[in-house]
Structure 1
Amino acid sequence: MAFYGDESLVGKHKTIFDTTLRDGEQTPGVSLTNEQKLKIARQLDKLGVDVIEAGFPISSEGEKQNVRAIANEGLSLDVCGLARVLRKDLDACIDCDVDMIHTFVSTSDIQRIHTIKKSREEVTAMAIDAIEYIKEHGAKCMFSAMDATRTDLDYLIDIYKDVEKAGCDIINVPDTVGIMSPSGMYQLIKNINSEVNIPIDVHCHNDFGIAVGNSLMATEAGASQVQVTVNGIGERAGNANLAEVVMCLHSIYGAKTNIKTEYLLETSKMVENFTGVHFPPNTPIVGDNAFAHESGIHTHGVLEKSDTFEPGIMTPEMVGHRRRIVIGKHAGSHAVEKSLQEMGIQPTAEQLGEILVKIKDIANKGKRICDADLYAVASSVLGRNLGKETITLKEFSVMTGNLTTPTAVVRAVIGDEEVVASNYGVGPIDAALKAVEDMMGGYNKIKVRDYRLEAITGGSDALAEVTISVEDEEGRVVNAQSASTDIATASVDALITAINILLEKKKLWSMQ
């Protein structure tokens, strides 16, 4: 297998320190519940992360309880708590029974003079005292020289050497304001690595969009651990993205980590759902378009051999994803034919050409082509109904209000059986979609994978267009759209349409 990075990293092991629950939660507008934090911690353990920073215990009593709960969860990974070089902070971490305490103090002149107002000598003394106190209490210790990349190099190396002598287990080099260049980060870590003998960890912020690049250059220069967050969330523009760092290390450099990469997408989706911070479809590794192809030239090549227009050293299956052939204005006949075959439709060459023309006409009007659109066009061109609807919606209602938990009731005929289901949610749409999912529970395990809402007209009677993707237990995805002045109606209609198409596809797949 060919690798495309620094060959000295091939086969080398790097550890992953995840700070989603601490720095990630500092994303403006994000606040996780105790239960959500525990679920994310369990998921990161399943993923194979080596260390998680569970929180900053001194910040509040609730935060302290969260960190203690995670530390006592019995996870395989190490649980770390954050603390300033202050006894009350350190005691708060010790009280939480964490495996590691990550203590920090500002070392750059701009922060030291204007925030903590201490001399360099005082800062060094505080750092040494904190390290010794942590070690006296039997915990592992990480020390961060905050704003390291803007700290005088000689002083930075001196303080790292001093904490090493005090018993520190690992030092962290934070690019606190995301100001370092990749070449600058390489040289900085190289310099530090030549002076200290304990492991080096890096924490890179993404203010200039190069946190991942800086993290990778740090590993080239000798850093043995990288701090990351799921989806790159965090203060300001966020942190180095976990999935991107890991897959670069694995696929480009040939390095090793303990990460089980097949859970990357699953982990990203969980954090996206809990935080409400949605990543765009063109996000590397985990985005909807990461392994999607529309261009006729690209789809033809990928259908013949995936490596033609994909990296090859990283496949969708490696990260828990699936390859998608997208039908749109740039689609070619090979992509349309393949998509129709997956629906059990075998058009003649003439019919295929007519379907392709109609699809492009629709796309040229600015409409995104869904599976339901292709299905409808093919039905029209072939002059027949290509499948019987498994679900026929009879009625649904949603109850909501200031004093009422949004609740939805759905009645439909599935096959020959009438089914009624109800559920509640954080809003009327959530309740309606959950009710439909519950209705399907006894028949097929189908879940909503993606939901998008767009107003396509203005005014109080605006027409809303809903696009929904549904996924079965084997990861197959189908999408459909619906438009209505009633968002709940459009949502349920789109969901029912998508499920019907997916069930038709499943019948075909089961016969193959």
Structure 2
Amino acid sequence: MKVKVLDTTLRDGEQTPGVSLTKNEKLRIASKLDEIGVNFIEAGAAVTSEGEREAIKNICAQGFKADILSFSRPIVKDIDYCIECNVDAVNLVVPTSDLHITDKLKTTHEKLLQLSNNAIEYCKDHGLVVELSAEDASRSDLDFLETVFKQGLSHGADRLCFCDTVGVLTPKKSFDIFSRYSKLDAPLSVHCHNDFGLAVANTLAAIRGGASEFHSTINGIGERAGNTSFEEMVSALYVLYGDEYETDIKMNELYSISKLSARLTGVYLQPNKAIVGENAFAHESGIHSDGIIKNAKTYEPMTPELVGHKRRFIVGKHVGTKGLKTKLLDLDLKVNDEQLKQIFKDVKSLADKGKTVSDVDLQAIAENILDIDADNKIKLIDVTIVSGNSVMPTASVKLDIDGNEIIEADVGIGPVDAAINAVNKALSDFDDIELVEYHVDAITGGTDAIIDVIVRLKKGDRVLSARSARPDIINASVEAYISGINRLI
């Protein structure tokens, strides 16, 4: 059975506290959603603001394959704004619980029905597809809700949606409810929230009960505890229910759209987030790493490549020699058995002190044992800085590149920037290397503090971190930068 996907990252997801997307950011996310096969994109709530309407119009003008929706209350003003934006459809949200009808709207069940039916007719008269969404449906009287749905269909509603607005469904209730409403002659969708961590489970149960569409957000963002997680739902349907259900989603794009959403919304993921978290396919335990190396199915329910992710072996106190050797090979470090034993011993010693052993730490440990520092292509001989209130920061660097002494100078907005610019000028042959992150920490206190500089450099699809610790931030920065370049090349 084909299950359709309505993504509401741009509406319900944007209601995450602290998230506010620009018109261009919304378009970037919408473009990616359309590219990976999402069927319906809820681009926002047209009534919100002029800026929101401009963003929705911009998305509608792209000619996407996906249908574009706007959220709307059953109010003529809201619907007129949707019409103005040229959307294909409306997510017409009608409160159906006694709590919402009496306490929020201060109205009656009869008036609510009339309001809903009139709004549907108005939408249909203006050429809009209507998805009638029952707000707080999970706390509604189910007989009254059935009346709302049936009358909605008789007035022209195209799809019905049951909303678990405050996340109080259980999988058993979800299955029973959707089994009941799936008997209505209309496509049925499910919209769940994650207040009890059950959004994905309840959505899967709803589909088992007869829902043919689900609402979700990228990374499960949204109000309070968020919405049904898009990537978890799509992966569960593909891997766990693949013989029964299918979607139009390109599975290998799940990780990339997750990262895009995280960057643009500023809502970053916990490492252990299912499917797309950085630890989702990371292994530290020696037993697990050994099993993965022999056969990935031993400790992975699916391959990371399926969702566009990558497997990682983590170096820590639980690492085994086979996982460690694999990690060293990933860093282009070939060791013999004796060298591996010594590196293993040093890693365990460092980890036992409570330190996380990063790639940089492992590389430093291995290089110390292998004594490969002397083989570095680029060595820093000297760096000199001139800076002051009336002088643009200027740096000169002296480098040894394959035995040839190179001197270059450049300016920057600060002394560190000037020094890095001077190094880049000297290393014009390696201009495909990009500095993607620069981080500074003071390890000790006082003006003579040891400064720990960490840089992340990118060459092609390979990203590597490098570190240097010195009392002088400029020397530490240049040394870390050159160290990273040496390792990348």
Query: Is the TM-score greater than 0.5?
Result: yes
Q: Does 1:478 align with 2:468?
A: no
* Alpha-carbon offset, residue 175 of structure 1: 0.6
Q: Which residue of 269, 272, 275 corresponds with 2:265?
A: 275
Work out the percentage of aligned pairs sharing the same amino acid. Answer: 41
* Alpha-carbon offset, residue 419 of structure 1: 7.7
Contact persistence 2:284–2:318 (CA under 8 A): yes
The C-alpha deviation readout for 1:3-34, integer Å capped at 9, x for no partner, is xxxxxxxxx21111111111111110111111
Higher RCO structure (Cα 8 Å, ≥6 apart): 1
Helix, strand or coil: the match of 2:160?
A: strand
| Residue 369 (structure 1) aligns with | 357
The C-alpha deviation readout for 1:444-496, integer Å capped at 9, x for no partner, is 655577788877667899877666555543x4443344557899987776565
| Residue 95 (structure 2) aligns with | 106
Query: Residues 319-334 of structure 1 correspond to what in structure 2 (within 5 A)?
Result: 319-334=307-322
Q: Which residue of 143, 146, 155 corresponds with 1:154?
A: 143
Helix, strand or coil: the match of 1:237?
A: coil
Distance in 2 separating the partners of 1:31 and 1:432: 37
Helix, strand or coil: the match of 1:253?
A: coil
The C-alpha deviation readout for 1:105-154, integer Å capped at 9, x for no partner, is 21101111111111111111111111111111112111111100000010
Contact persistence 1:466–1:491 (CA under 8 A): yes
The 3 A distance-change label for structure 1 pair 375 and 170 is same
Paired positions, count: 480
Letter in 2 for 1:139: L
| Residue 260 (structure 1) aligns with | 250
C-alpha RMSD over aligned residues: 3.7
Contact persistence 1:363–1:369 (CA under 8 A): yes
Query: Residues 149-228 of structure 1 correspond to what in structure 2 (within 5 A)?
Result: 149-194=138-183, 196-228=184-216
Helix, strand or coil: the match of 2:161?
A: strand
The 3 A distance-change label for structure 1 pair 369 and 304 is same
| Residue 105 (structure 2) aligns with | 116
Letter in 1 for 2:464: V
| Residue 402 (structure 1) aligns with | none
The 3 A distance-change label for structure 1 pair 176 and 457 is farther
| Residue 55 (structure 2) aligns with | 66
The 3 A distance-change label for structure 1 pair 187 and 358 is same
Helix, strand or coil: the match of 2:71?
A: strand
Query: TM-score of the superposition, structure 2-length normalised?
Result: 0.87
Distance in 1 separating the partners of 2:21 and 2:5: 22
Distance in 2 separating the partners of 1:306 and 1:168: 48
| Residue 403 (structure 1) aligns with | none
Contact persistence 1:372–1:497 (CA under 8 A): no
Letter in 1 for 2:334: Q
* Alpha-carbon offset, residue 258 of structure 1: 1.1
* Alpha-carbon offset, residue 328 of structure 1: 1.4
The 3 A distance-change label for structure 1 pair 430 and 330 is farther
The C-alpha deviation readout for 1:24-49, integer Å capped at 9, x for no partner, is 11110111111111111111112211
Helix, strand or coil: the match of 1:258?
A: coil
Distance in 1 separating the partners of 2:444 and 2:152: 62
Letter in 1 for 2:229: N
Letter in 2 for 1:98: V
| Residue 7 (structure 1) aligns with | none
Distance in 1 separating the partners of 2:144 and 2:412: 61
* Alpha-carbon offset, residue 372 of structure 1: 2.1
Query: Residues 340-419 of structure 1 correspond to what in structure 2 (within 5 A)?
Result: 340-385=328-373, 387-390=375-378
| Residue 231 (structure 1) aligns with | 219
The 3 A distance-change label for structure 1 pair 345 and 104 is closer
Distance in 2 separating the partners of 1:185 and 1:433: 58
Distance in 2 separating the partners of 1:260 and 1:20: 18
| Residue 130 (structure 2) aligns with | 141
Q: Does 1:78 align with 2:101?
A: no
The 3 A distance-change label for structure 1 pair 435 and 134 is farther
* Alpha-carbon offset, residue 211 of structure 1: 0.9
Gaps of 5+ in 1: 1-11, 400-406, 504-512
Gaps of 5+ in 2: 388-392
Between stretches 369-378 and 210-219, larger displacement belongs to 369-378
* Alpha-carbon offset, residue 68 of structure 1: 0.9
Contact persistence 1:421–1:439 (CA under 8 A): no
Distance in 2 separating the partners of 1:431 and 1:186: 63
Higher Rg: 2
| Residue 304 (structure 1) aligns with | 294
Helix, strand or coil: the match of 1:59?
A: coil
The 3 A distance-change label for structure 1 pair 431 and 422 is closer
